[in-house]
Chains A and B, each alone.
Chain A
Amino acid sequence: MQANRVEGRGLIDRDAPLNFRFNHEKMQGYAGDTVASALLANGQRLMGRSFKYHRPRGPLSAGPEEPSALLTIGRYEHEDPNVRATVRELYDGLRARSQNHRGSLERDFMAVTDLMNRFFGAGFYYKTFMWPAKFWESLYEPIIRAAAGLGALPGDNDPSQYEHGCRHCDLLIIGAGPTGLMAALTAGRAGARVILADEDFLMGGRLNAESHEVGGMAGSAWAAQAVAELAAMPNVRLMPRTTVFGVYDGGVYGALERVGEHQAEIPADLPRQCMWKLVAKRAILCAGAIERSIAFENNDRPGIMLAGAARTYLNRYGVAAGKSVAVFTNNDDGWRTAEDFRDAGLDVAVVADARADAKERDGFRTIAGGVIADSVGRLGVHTATIRHKTGTEDSVRADLIAVSGGWSPAVHLTCHQGCKPVWREDIAAFVPGANPPQGLTVAGAAQGDFSTSACLAGGASAAQAALADLGFEAPAMETPEAEDGATMITPFWKVEGCQRAWLDHQNDVTVKDIAMSYKEGFKSVEHMKRYTTLGMATDQGKTANVPAIALMAELTGKSIQETGTTVFRPPYTPVPIGAFGGRHRGKHFHPTRLTPSHDWAAANGGDFVEAGLWLRTQWFRQGSEKGWRDSVDREVVTTRSKVGVCDVTTLGKIDIQGADAGEFLDRVYQNGFSKLAVGKCRYGLMLREDGIVMDDGTSARFAEDHYVMTTTTAKAGQVMRHLEFCRQCLWPDLDVALISTTEQWAQYAVAGPHARDLLRKVLDAEHDISNDALPYMGCAEVTVCGGVKARIFRLSFSGELAYEIAVPCRYGHDMMEVLMKAGEEFGAEPYGTEALGVMRIEKGHAAGNELDGRTTAGDLGMGRLGAKKNTDFIGKTMAQREGLQAEDRAVMVGLKTVEPTAKIGGGAHFLEKGAEPTLETDLGWIASVAWSPELNNYIGIGFLKHGKDRMGDRLRAWDGVRGTDIEVEICSPHMVDPEGERLRG
């Protein structure tokens, strides 16, 4: 039963009934309703329980500022807590649930906290739960959290899709009330690219909520006509259901559009919301104003709401929020509610106008200079207590108390870059300060022009100014006729003597709490906010801030301007974290790079690991292998005894060409490259400016003016950036061109005694890769498989006879297949990064664990690398610093566990036998460890003080994290084939 619908009023579609549920009750509303308007239509004033005292609450407002009517909407994993019922559009099948009560909404056991309110004043838990300190986390906090609060998250992953988008325009207009519509018409007709964004699903702002006329027709009709004209303009984009929530640098605005959220069934591909980045050359803030309440005893009961909200429910939704209204106002605007209710045939019990000079108005029982001092009613108000000028009190039956304490311009967005609002005494409100974000101007009620006429004119002139700035010829605009009443206001913040009079309905902050905050010395508004929690949580004090500031000003004897506001930051209204994440979640959190033979690896037991953005194969599981070690040990043994193939495509590759390419490399590497023979590769060590090792790799020379550099997988991007910086900024005179070819070549390491035999089967016959023709560290451009161009490098990371063969990526997948087929007769197997790691540790080659951004060339045993070179290179001078050359620096060593199967871990520290593990006794650390199938022993690479002098010494590998303490023997890092006979074979 929609008992509270008023016939003939409202912009709802009575032909489109919508069924929904509130808690367990079935109800009906209409298309065009919000959840709050539909609930009120059904006579449901009670919508939730308050944060701290669990007091019964209904809606205070009819808009985004709502502090009290917060519901949980949706079911299961789609549950959305703390939804403002006043803005959530009703749809068929909607399910709403009230929050923060134990037992039913009507009989909340936790309401006992309200009876004990004297113990729960502001800051009570700071004082109450001080002892013992350790009880805070384990006992007090969980209890307080369970007792207080609003809705709860469903706990499941959010299944909704969130979209990201970006739009550009000449002029962004924020808010589509009279001001915004007029601004959009002006700019649209001038031909500018316009975006008009409004958080509501129905554009028009207060025009849809008021009864007065614009241009000789209903305000809402004028708004609809303006919207229709704008919708027909190709240069204007209307964005309803879109909240502009933040202002950022360079004309960037953050906006959240509700795309599918208001639909009963969200189609599979439709996002719930879209996070927009709006880029605007100019913007006009037409966000309107927010009404505020007046503090009186028990002013928070369901049925007590802002006077403007009562009008909204009546005029826009055709809902009488009460059958008999008592109006309490300190300004002319409040009287409109009385008039609209009377015109709708509803009972206006009384109008209490706090202004001493208020005039009696015809047909109303007016209490001039009087106030509403208290309210009565358990789950909703039924009686108002009137206090006359004389101080006498009497009671009036009223199930709706409509309160107007004046309007506060919605200045929030103007403050996002540090602009401070300014207090205007004549309208008793903060207006935007003088330095709003660049490109943003403010018009209409948002800057304190409250009459409709002033809003329309203000919108047009703000748009004209912006257009002139942008070089558009602005059309002359005729402002439609509209009401032009000045809103006379006499500031009135609280009724004399009230204590439990709510300022912040969401956080249960009362007049008494502000007094307490003052008494305890928290007088600055920022301190007051933290002490009382006023202005926090989902509504950020949109209705509470100004009255609280005024009360604090009164207490301190300062002016309201001096007292100032707290800082408004984005977002203006709550934005789900999921919307910020957009599509970047789960496996799409970042892009994944796949090598050309990825699919082959996946089909052949490959187990993948993330290496930067790449997916690399760690090992290939075969047959009945259970643990990863089974696979890795086998791959190492196969490679060392037969032949193995490893995908090394992910290594960075940089094409370096030009007459000065050699000179360029001399300057970026510690060792020299300009004298490298054509057809040869060389290991190179690259330092940072500060002398620490940046990266290593090999560079091959294919022609006098052509080198190909390889980098590690991890540092490929960083090295490319570094080289570009050197080329463009440090030495722009060098004739050298750089381009990454990482993506161009699929590259495979073929290692093991049969590596050459295998490759001979793949290379076209004319290419000789005998030891003489292609010795260790040789390179050549060749063809494979009947003319496909390829590059071959005789490099070895494993220490075996080994090559790297590169083909264009389009052939990568097939190349892997071909290598395996050709290797079949030799017992070839693919190997992954783990086997690669084991073999390089056995061989004593440094890798990422060793090049950790702290180690020097000397630490790595390469201090003498390129010592003959007498030209300058990056890092040369800084590497000579005393600290980096110190005798006692930990240097790279190899190690074996004394007990072969004692499993050591990377990160363990070297200690002498019997030494306490302290910073003073610490001798160094272990960087890499592996089980060596070749040596049948756990081995590792570490950094040890005076390491060169400690060969054969026995030390402890102490691991405080894993709780192990294992005896190790120090050795040369070159643990397998130290003379390098295999790789030269």
Chain B
Amino acid sequence: MADFTLTPRSIFDAVGGCRVEVEGFAFDETPTRSLVSLARRRGEAGAALDAAVKAAFGADLPEPGRFTEANGVTIIFSQPGQWLIAAEREELEAEVRSTAAGAGTVTDQSDAFTELTMEGPLAVEVLSRLSSLDYETFEVGQVARTPMQQIAVTIARTGAESWRLNTARSTARDFAHDVDVAAKAIGARGSLAPT
């Protein structure tokens, strides 16, 4: 008989969250969304996947390096023939599974990744201290998976000054520390910041 209860916890719960704020930049964890991976089946079986996903979620399976969004559902390209689907609903896995039917395979990844956001005009500057990609020309709708200070991160530009990042749960505290140090260093430059 189960007399015990389990409470869901973020990796940041025990350390008081991960919010970082300096003038022109904010970083935080987003409320937990469900996240599932969807892989296209090989051969003819997989051909039906695009239409099924579009019909169910209203968003296209994105091209490499892009993400699509509709009705609160985000679909992120993760590798050829594989996508990550995120939405704020508990039954997402079952939903995607029934959508994919025989055309795709589904794996729950909701707890594998921590979803984070960066906001503000200095976000590009902070990102330039974490990884080697060109964030000035990074387009809204674009997504990339890249090492940031040795930690793998999936990063998407959701607006001119807003970014969404997914990183592995086990290293998320270290990643937040890196963001904290980078942002504070930029903040400390103040008027010293290069023009």
Residues of A within 8 A of B (CB): 161, 163-168, 193, 231, 237-240, 257, 259-260, 267-271, 277, 279, 583-584, 588, 590-596, 599, 613-614, 655, 657-660, 705-706, 733-737, 739-745, 761-765, 784-786, 788, 807-815, 818, 821-822
B109, A739: Cβ atoms closer than 8 Å = yes
A-B CB proximity, top 3 nearest: A737-B39, A743-B112, A735-B42
B171, A613: Cβ atoms closer than 8 Å = yes
B195, A238: Cβ atoms closer than 8 Å = yes
* Bound-state Cα–Cα, A657 to B37, Å: 12
A-B contact pairs, 21 of them (CB 8 A): A238-B195, A260-B192, A267-B188, A271-B185, A584-B149, A592-B174, A596-B169, A613-B171, A736-B42, A737-B40, A737-B41, A740-B112, A742-B112, A744-B109, A788-B6, A807-B6, A809-B112, A810-B111, A814-B5, A815-B6, A818-B6
In the bound complex, residues from chain B placing their C-beta under 8 Å from that of A706 are 105
* Bound-state Cα–Cα, A163 to B175, Å: 15
B46, closest chain A residue (CB): A735
B192, closest chain A residue (CB): A259
CB distance from B158 to the nearest CB of A (A): 21
B41, closest chain A residue (CB): A735
* Bound-state Cα–Cα, A762 to B134, Å: 50
Q: Does B108 contact A (CB under 8 A)?
A: yes
A590, closest chain B residue (CB): B150
CB distance from B29 to the nearest CB of A (A): 12
* Bound-state Cα–Cα, A270 to B112, Å: 34
Mask of B1-40 contacts with A, CB within 8 angstroms, 1/0: 1111111111100100000000000000000100001011
State which of B52-60, B69-77, B176-184 sits at the interface with chain A.
B176-184
In the bound complex, residues from chain B placing their C-beta under 8 Å from that of A271 are 185
Considering residues A657, A786, A810, which has the most beta carbons from chain B within 10 angstroms of its beta carbon? A810
CB distance from A603 to the nearest CB of B (A): 9
B residues 137-195 with Cβ under 8 Å of A? 137, 149-151, 168-171, 173-175, 177-178, 181-182, 184-185, 187-189, 192, 194-195
**A735 touching B2 in the complex, CB below 8 Å, given contacts A161-B185, A583-B181, A743-B112:** no
**A277 touching B132 in the complex, CB below 8 Å, given contacts A583-B181, A591-B175, A814-B7:** yes
* Bound-state Cα–Cα, A588 to B4, Å: 37
* Bound-state Cα–Cα, A165 to B132, Å: 7
CB distance from B185 to the nearest CB of A (A): 5
Partner of B171, one of A164, A591, A599: A591
A257, closest chain B residue (CB): B194
A739, B37: Cβ atoms closer than 8 Å = yes
CB distance from A28 to the nearest CB of B (A): 24
In the bound complex, residues from chain A placing their C-beta under 8 Å from that of B113 are 743
Residues of B within 8 A of A (CB): 1-11, 14, 32, 37, 39-43, 45, 81-82, 105, 107-113, 128-129, 131-134, 136-137, 149-151, 168-171, 173-175, 177-178, 181-182, 184-185, 187-189, 192, 194-195
* Bound-state Cα–Cα, A808 to B112, Å: 8
* Bound-state Cα–Cα, A599 to B10, Å: 12
Give the A-B pair count, Cβ closer than 8 A.
176
B8, A166: Cβ atoms closer than 8 Å = no
* Bound-state Cα–Cα, A809 to B12, Å: 13
In the bound complex, residues from chain B placing their C-beta under 8 Å from that of A741 are 107-109, 112
B150, A591: Cβ atoms closer than 8 Å = yes
**A809 touching B169 in the complex, CB below 8 Å, given contacts A744-B108, A786-B2:** yes
* Bound-state Cα–Cα, A527 to B112, Å: 58
In the bound complex, residues from chain A placing their C-beta under 8 Å from that of B137 are 168
A277, closest chain B residue (CB): B132
A732, closest chain B residue (CB): B42
Partner of B9, one of A734, A737, A764, A810: A810
In the bound complex, residues from chain A placing their C-beta under 8 Å from that of B177 are 588
A594, closest chain B residue (CB): B170
**A743 touching B169 in the complex, CB below 8 Å, given contacts A279-B132, A810-B9:** yes
B148, closest chain A residue (CB): A591
In the bound complex, residues from chain B placing their C-beta under 8 Å from that of A270 are 185, 188-189, 192
Partner of A785, one of B6, B41, B182: B6
A595, B170: Cβ atoms closer than 8 Å = yes
* Bound-state Cα–Cα, A812 to B14, Å: 13
CB distance from B144 to the nearest CB of A (A): 14
In the bound complex, residues from chain B placing their C-beta under 8 Å from that of A231 are 195
A237, B111: Cβ atoms closer than 8 Å = no
In the bound complex, residues from chain A placing their C-beta under 8 Å from that of B192 are 259-260, 270
* Bound-state Cα–Cα, A706 to B41, Å: 13
CB distance from B11 to the nearest CB of A (A): 7
* Bound-state Cα–Cα, A596 to B40, Å: 31
CB distance from A792 to the nearest CB of B (A): 14
In the bound complex, residues from chain A placing their C-beta under 8 Å from that of B4 are 761-762, 785, 818, 821-822
B43, A735: Cβ atoms closer than 8 Å = yes
B7, closest chain A residue (CB): A814
B131, A166: Cβ atoms closer than 8 Å = yes
In the bound complex, residues from chain A placing their C-beta under 8 Å from that of B134 are 168, 279
**A168 touching B136 in the complex, CB below 8 Å, given contacts A734-B42, A811-B8, A814-B9:** yes
A765, B105: Cβ atoms closer than 8 Å = no
B170, A614: Cβ atoms closer than 8 Å = yes
With contacts A270-B185, A743-B169, A785-B4 known, what are 5 further pairs, Cβ within 8 A?
A165-B129, A269-B187, A737-B41, A739-B39, A814-B7
B134, closest chain A residue (CB): A168
A615, closest chain B residue (CB): B170
* Bound-state Cα–Cα, A240 to B193, Å: 11
A660, closest chain B residue (CB): B42
CB distance from B10 to the nearest CB of A (A): 7
CB distance from B107 to the nearest CB of A (A): 5
A657, B129: Cβ atoms closer than 8 Å = no
CB distance from A762 to the nearest CB of B (A): 6
B185, A737: Cβ atoms closer than 8 Å = no
Considering residues B10, B42, B134, B173, which has the most beta carbons from chain A within 10 angstroms of its beta carbon? B42
* Bound-state Cα–Cα, A400 to B18, Å: 61
B108, A808: Cβ atoms closer than 8 Å = yes
B6, A593: Cβ atoms closer than 8 Å = no
Partner of B111, one of A268, A599, A705, A809: A809
* Bound-state Cα–Cα, A655 to B150, Å: 24
A744, B112: Cβ atoms closer than 8 Å = yes
* Bound-state Cα–Cα, A655 to B39, Å: 12
* Bound-state Cα–Cα, A808 to B36, Å: 13
B9, A743: Cβ atoms closer than 8 Å = no
In the bound complex, residues from chain B placing their C-beta under 8 Å from that of A660 are 42
CB distance from B33 to the nearest CB of A (A): 12
In the bound complex, residues from chain B placing their C-beta under 8 Å from that of A734 are 42
* Bound-state Cα–Cα, A811 to B111, Å: 9
B149, closest chain A residue (CB): A583
* Bound-state Cα–Cα, A764 to B5, Å: 11
CB distance from A578 to the nearest CB of B (A): 14
* Bound-state Cα–Cα, A238 to B194, Å: 7
* Bound-state Cα–Cα, A163 to B182, Å: 8
B111, A743: Cβ atoms closer than 8 Å = yes
B170, A735: Cβ atoms closer than 8 Å = no
In the bound complex, residues from chain A placing their C-beta under 8 Å from that of B178 are 583, 588
Partner of A761, one of B1, B43, B171, B173: B1
CB distance from A983 to the nearest CB of B (A): 26
**A593 touching B5 in the complex, CB below 8 Å, given contacts A237-B194, A739-B107, A743-B112:** no
* Bound-state Cα–Cα, A810 to B3, Å: 19
**A594 touching B11 in the complex, CB below 8 Å, given contacts A166-B132, A764-B2, A786-B5:** yes
* Bound-state Cα–Cα, A734 to B42, Å: 7
In the bound complex, residues from chain A placing their C-beta under 8 Å from that of B81 are 737
In the bound complex, residues from chain A placing their C-beta under 8 Å from that of B181 are 161, 269, 583
A594, B128: Cβ atoms closer than 8 Å = no
**A744 touching B150 in the complex, CB below 8 Å, given contacts A238-B195, A810-B32:** no
**A808 touching B110 in the complex, CB below 8 Å, given contacts A594-B173, A765-B2, A821-B4:** yes
**A239 touching B194 in the complex, CB below 8 Å, given contacts A164-B129, A166-B131, A744-B111:** yes
B182, closest chain A residue (CB): A163
Partner of B151, one of A591, A786, A812: A591
**A744 touching B110 in the complex, CB below 8 Å, given contacts A593-B170, A593-B171, A784-B2:** yes
